[in-house]
Structure 1
Amino acid sequence: MEKVLFNAKVYVEKGDYRQAVLIEDDLIKAVGSDEKILSMSKAEAEVIDCKGRTLIPGLNDSHLHFMQFGETRNQAVIEDAESIEEMIDICRRFAEEHPDSVRHGMHAIGWNQDNFTNGSGLPDRHDLDKISTEYPIVLERVCGHIVSTNTKLIDMLKMDRDKGRFKDGDFLVGDDGKPNGIFTGNGCNVAKNIVPDFTMEQRRRIMLETMDYAVRHGLTSVQSNDVGTTFMNGPAAFHMLHDIYDKGEAKLRYRHQVCFNDLEQFKEYLESGEFACGDYPKDSWLTLGPLKLFKDGSLGARTALVRDGYVGDMNNHGLEWITSEDMDAYCKLAREYGLQVVTHAIGDEALRKTIDSYEKAFVDGENKLRHGLIHCQITDEELLDRIAREDILVFAQPVFIDYDMKIVEKLVGESLASTSYAFGSIIQKGAHLSYGTDCPVEDCNPFPNIYHAVTRKNKAGMPEEGFYSKECVDIETAIDAYTYESAYDEFMEDVKGRIMPGYYADMVLLDKDIFTVDPIEIKDILPVMTIVGGKEEYIAEC
C-alpha cells in the first residue's frame, strides 16, 4: 500500500529540505518535489495534503523509564509541591479519592526539596505519618535516588532486628538514633518493595495508555529502562511486552535497556534467559538493547559522584552505586557476548571511572559495542576530550538545564559548572550525542527538551543570554540528536532517524515550523500527525 505526503516542508538532513514523501508499506520509497512524488505514486495511493506544514523524522527518546512514567500518571501527583505540607495534602486527597489504590500502600514519585519555598529540607517519617500510619508509604524524590517513608513501613522492614540487607548509607537516622524514614542508594529499592506493586493487568493498561500519550507528543521510538528498575520481575515484563507487540497493539517502537540485581543474574540471562532465547525478528518494533548500569546517584540529591566534593561539604563526594571491580566484571562479560553497555553517570568522578571500565572492555582497542554514558552532566575539558577521543556515546537530557542551572554552581563551583552540561561542545568535538528525557524525571514530551538544547534558557525564557550559551545548538543539530543519533545508539542509523529512501516510515507533522518559529515557542509545539511504520498512530482533532 502506498501513501503520499505532499505540500510539506520535509527535513531530510542539514540544509536539505524537500516537499513530498512516498511511503510503501512501512518504508520510505522516495523523497522529492511534489511533482516528482505525485507522478511516481500509483493511482490507488493514499494522498495526504500537509498544507505547508513541517515534517520531521519520528522522535526517538534515547533514555527514559516508560512504565514508571505511566505509573506516575496513576499515582498522587507530587512533583509540583512547593512544601512538605502541600505534598502531605496532595497525598491525603489522593487517598480519599482513591481508597482502593492505597489500601495496601501508597507510592508516588516527584518531590524535590529544592522547590520547597519554606526551606523545610527532606521529608521524613514524621511528615509522612501525617498522611497515614495505617499503611506503608513511599514517596520518591524526582531523581529516584532518595525516598521518604512513614513509620509503618520502617516497622514492616523490622529494621531494629534486620539491618543485614542494607549497606552503609542506605538509610539515614534521626536525632534519636533511629531510622528517620529517609533511604538512599540501594535502600530505596528495599523500601519500595514493601508497597504492593501494580498487577500485570494494570501494567498492561498503563503501558498502552502511555504509548498513546507518547505518540500524541511526537515520539515514534523509546529506549526504555524498565526491566530491573520499575519491572523487577524480568520474565513477566518481557512476556507482557512481547504480548502487546505480537498482538499489534503497540503504537511505537520500544528498545529495552536492562538492569540486573547482580553479575550472576546477568550471566544467567546471557546464557539461558532473554538475551539467549528472546524472539526479536528483524524489523520488529520491539528490540532487546543494552545492559544498563548505575554508577552514581543524582546532583540534586547530592549523591552524584564528584572528585573534589560538594561546595560547603567537601568531604561528601557522593555515592558510588557500583564498585569499579564489579563494573569491570559486568563490562568484561558484556564484551564476551557482544553486548552494549550504557551507564547512568552524572558526576565527574563517576564518568572517569565508567570510562575506565569501558576502555578495559573495548574490542580491539575501540568502542565497537558503542558503550554509552547516560546523563554525562558534570564534566571538565579533559573528560570532554576523552569522551570524544574514545568515541563513547552520550545520552543527554538538555531539559535538565531548566532546573539544574539553579543549583549546579552552588554545588560544584562556577569553574566546573562552566564546562558541565556541555552538550554543544561534545558534539563539536565529534562525539555521538543523543537526546532523551529520563522520564518521569521530566515529561517525555520532546519539544521542551529541544527548546532547552537550543536556547539554554528556563521555561520562562531566562537568562536572556542563555545558561553558558556557548553550549547552545541549532535546530537542525537538535533534531538530529533526537532522531539520527538516537538511532545510532541502537545500531540502526542506516534504517531509522531520517526521511530518506529505505528508512522506516516514522515521521511527525508539526503544528508550527520548528526551524523558523520564535525559539520561545519551540517548547509548545505539538504534532498534527504521528506516523510509525507508515501507519498514522495519531491525528490531531480539527
Structure 2
Amino acid sequence: MSKTLLYNAKVYVERGHFEEAVLVEDGIIRAVGGNKELLAAADAETEKRDCEGRTLIPGLNDSHMHFMQFGETRNQAMIEGVTSIDEMIRICREFAEAHPGHVKSGMHAIGWNQDLFTDGDRMPDRHDLDRISTDYPIVLERVCGHIVSVNTTLLNMLHVKENPEFKKEDFGVDENGEPNGLFYGNGTNLAKKVVPDFSLEERHRIILETMDYCVSHGLTSVQSNDVGTTFMDGPVAFDLFHKIYNSGEGKLRYRHQVCFNDLNEFRDYLENGEYAHREELYPKDSWLTLGPLKLFKDGSLGARTALMTNGYVGAPDNHGLEWIASDDMDEYCRLAGEHNLQVVTHCIGDEAVKRAIDSYEKAFVDGKNALRHTVIHCQVTSEELLDRIADEGILVFAQPIFLDYDMRILEELVGKELAATSYAWGSLPRKGAHVAYGTDCPVEDCNPFPNIYMAVTRKNLNGEPAGGFYPDECVDVETAVDAYTVESAYGEFMEDIKGRIKEGYYADMVLLDSDIFTVDPDRIKDILPVMTMVGGRIVFEK
C-alpha cells in the first residue's frame, strides 16, 4: 500500500473551489481538504510532500494526437517551420549525411508548410526532392499530413498511372499530364508505404522517449490515433503497446483511436480482432485502453482540401476533398453502433462537419448521441452548425493552438462572415457543448500550455493581435483547464473517475511552476510542471 500527502498547495477542485491538500492511497485520491485536517489524517507510512504554495491541477489529457508520429518526427529530419524549399533541402541533406544507415532504404519526414515559405508558396515537387537524393525514395509530408511530396525515385517505384490502387484525385500532375510528385488523400498513405518503417525495437524506444516528453509537459493521458495511420500493421501495433504496459514501462494513460483501411477490415476487428476481445485485453483501471473508431472526412484548411459548403474565397468551385463518402461513413457508424463503439471524425470544413453529423444522426440510439460521437477539429462553422452541435450533443475535440497559424489564412480563405463563427471555442461551451482540448501533435507540439494560452487570449505565440483574434471566442482559464481535464475524460466515458481532484478519482495531477489562474495570461504559454503524478506515481519531477 502506497500513501502520499500533497499539502501546502493551491488545489484546483472546480470553478470557484480550491483546497490545500490531497491524500492519495494506492493511486486513488482518498481525501481533499485543508492542510491541518489532512496532515492529522496522514499516518507514519504516508509520504508527505510540501508543495510550497504552488498550484496543483488535474493531469492534462490530450483528446487527440498522433503520439507515435510525434516520436518519429523527433527521430527524422526536422523540417517543421522551414521558410523555404531550399532550407528544407539543406536540412534533409544534412540529416542524410549524419544518418546514412537510417536513410539508405528511404527518407521520411513531416512538417513543411508552403504558407511559411518566404520565397513563394509553391509546394515542393519531385524535382525539388531529387536535389536531396535520387539514390533512395523520399517522402516529405506537409505539416497537416494530407499532402506529401516525393522524389522521382519513389514516383517510379509506384507506377502511379498504371497502378489501380490510385484514383486520379490521389496525385498531382504537371503541365504534360505526368505525375509531379505530389499526393493527396489516400494517395499519401500509398506513397508512405514505400519507405521502410522503423523497426519494432526503434518504435519501443521512441514510445518511451515520447512518454518522457509528454509527462515533463504535464500530460498524464493521451488519446492517440496511431494504429491505422502511423502504425499500419494493427496486430503488431497493439501487441507492442500491450508489451509496454504489461511490463510496467508506461508512464501515462494511453487510449487508442483506431483507423481502418476499409469496412471489411473494421468488421473483422469487431468480430474477431482487438475489439472482439477488448474486455479481456483491457481490464478495468488499465492505463492502456481501447477507444473509438477514427475516420477522416476531409483534408486541411492550409492545403485547401477542407470540405467547404460554398468553396473558397476566389475559388468557389473548389469545395475541398471528401476523404470518406457519406454512404461509407453511414455504414461505419452503423457497424460501430451495433458494437457499442464511439466514432470520432476529423472534420475541418463546414461541409465536413455537417455531413459527419448527418451520419452520426442515423446511428443515434433512441435519437440521442449515447455513444458520444465526436467531431475532431471542428474549425470552420456557421452559427447554425454550432447550434446543431450543442443541441444534438455532439462532442468536439478542439485544438485552439491551430490559430497560431490559421489566423493568418482564415479570412482570406473563407471570408470574414464565416471566420467570425469559426474556431468557436467560446461559443460552443456557452451553448452547452462538450469541448475537449488536444493538439493533433505533431501538427503542433503536444505541450498543453501554449494551447491553453491560445484559448484564453486568442493571440498567436508572438502576442498578436493585441486584443485577440475574434476575442468574443476567448474562454477563461477555468474553462480551458476543464477542457483539458474533465472534458477530455468525458470524451472517453471516464468523467466520474478522471479529470478532477476529488475523492475517488484517479490520482493524476500536475504541480505547476506558476499559478495558471492568476498569472498574466500572456505568460500562460511559458508555464511548465515541477511535478507530474499518474495513478499516485510520480513520473516527472524537476
Name the TM-score, length of structure 2 as normaliser: 0.99
CA distance in 2, matches of 1:57, 1:434: 14
Q: 2:174 maps to what in 1?
A: 174
Aligned equivalents of 1:429, 1:4: Cα separation in 2: 39
Task: Tell me, yes or no, if the aligned pair for 1:320 and 1:350 is still in contact at 8 Å.
Answer: yes
Answer yes or no: is the 8 Å Cα contact 2:449–2:524 preserved in 1: yes
1:515 is aligned to 517
Q: CA deviation at 1:163?
A: 3.1
Aligned pair partner of 1:385 in 387, 390, 400: 387
Cα-to-partner distance string for 1:258-280 (whole Å, 9 max, x where unaligned): 00000010000000100012410
Q: Which residue of 2 aligns with 1:4?
A: 5
Partner of 1:220: 220
Is 1:147–1:184's contact at 8 Å kept on the other side of the alignment? yes
For residues 34-433 of structure 1, the aligned pairs below 5 Å read 34-160=35-161, 162-278=162-278, 279-433=281-435
Q: Which runs of 5+ in 1 are unaligned?
A: none
How far 1:169 moved relative to its partner? 1.1
C-alpha deviations, 1:414-450, integer Å up to 9, x for none? 1101100001100000000000000000000000000
SS of alignment partner, residue 169 of structure 1: helix
CA deviation map 1:223-242 (0-9, x unaligned) = 00000000100000000000
Check the 8 A contact 1:84/1:120 in 2, yes or no. Answer: no
1:204 counterpart SS class? helix
* Aligned-partner Cα distance in 1 for 2:34–2:484: 25
Who is 1:30 aligned against? 31
- Contact 2:160–2:166 under 8 Å retained in 1: no
Match of 1:21 in 2: 22
Judge conservation of contact 2:306–2:319 (CA < 8 Å) in 1: yes
Deviation (angstroms), 1:176: 2.4
Between the aligned partners of 1:280 and 1:158, the Cα distance in structure 2 is 42
Cα displacement string for residues 11-50 of structure 1 (whole angstroms, at most 9, x for unaligned residues)? 0000000000000110000000000111111122100000
Deviation at 1:57, TM superposition (A): 0.2
Question: Alignment partner of 2:412: what SS?
Answer: helix
How many residues are paired up? 539
2:93 maps to amino acid: R
RMSD, aligned α-carbons: 0.6
In structure 2, what residue type is equivalent to 1:221?
Answer: S
In 2, Cα distance between equivalents of 1:243 and 1:396: 31
Identity %: 70
Which secondary structure state, in structure 1, belongs to the residue aligned with residue 235 of structure 2?
Answer: helix
Cα deviation for residue 452 of structure 1 reads 0.1
Q: What amino acid is aligned across from residue 381 of structure 1 in structure 2?
A: E
- Give 5+ residue unaligned stretches, structure 2: none
CA drift at 1:257:
0.3
Deviation per CA, 1:274-304: give whole Å up to 9, x if none: 0012410000000000000000000000000
- The one-letter amino acid of 1:414's match is K
- Three-state SS of the structure 2 residue aligned to 1:437 is coil
Q: Please report how far the alpha carbon of residue 158 of structure 1 lies from its aligned counterpart in structure 2 after TM superposition.
A: 1.8
Q: In structure 1, the residue corresponding to 2:168 is in which secondary structure?
A: coil
* Shift of residue 60, structure 1, vs aligned partner: 0.1
Letter in 2 for 1:255: R
The DSSP-based 3-state class of the residue aligned with 2:426 is helix
CA offset at residue 120 of structure 1?
Answer: 4.3
> Partners in 2 of 1:459 and 1:394 — Cα distance?
24
Counterpart CA distance in 2 for 1:175 and 1:134 is: 26
Post-superposition Cα deviations, 1:76-112, rounded to whole Å, max 9, x if no partner, equal 0001210000000000000001111100000000000
Contact 1:110 1:142 in 2 (8 A): yes
State how far apart, in whole Å, the 2-side matches of 1:44 and 1:26 are.
15
Q: Secondary structure at the match of 1:148?
A: strand
Q: What is residue 457 of structure 1 aligned with on the other side?
A: 459
3-state SS of paired residue (1:423): coil
Instruction: Give the aligned residue type for 2:29.
Output: I
C-alpha contact 2:11 2:56 (8 A) present in aligned 1: yes
Query: C-alpha distance in 2, partners of 1:159/1:71?
Result: 27
- Determine if contact 2:115/2:121 at 8 Å carries over to the other structure: no
Helix, strand or coil at the partner of 2:530: strand
Partner amino acid, structure 2, of 1:217: H
Would you say the 8 A contact 1:425–1:471 is kept in 2? yes
| Distance in 2 (alpha carbons) for counterparts of 1:277 and 1:359 | 27
How far off its partner does 1:168 sit?
A: 2.5
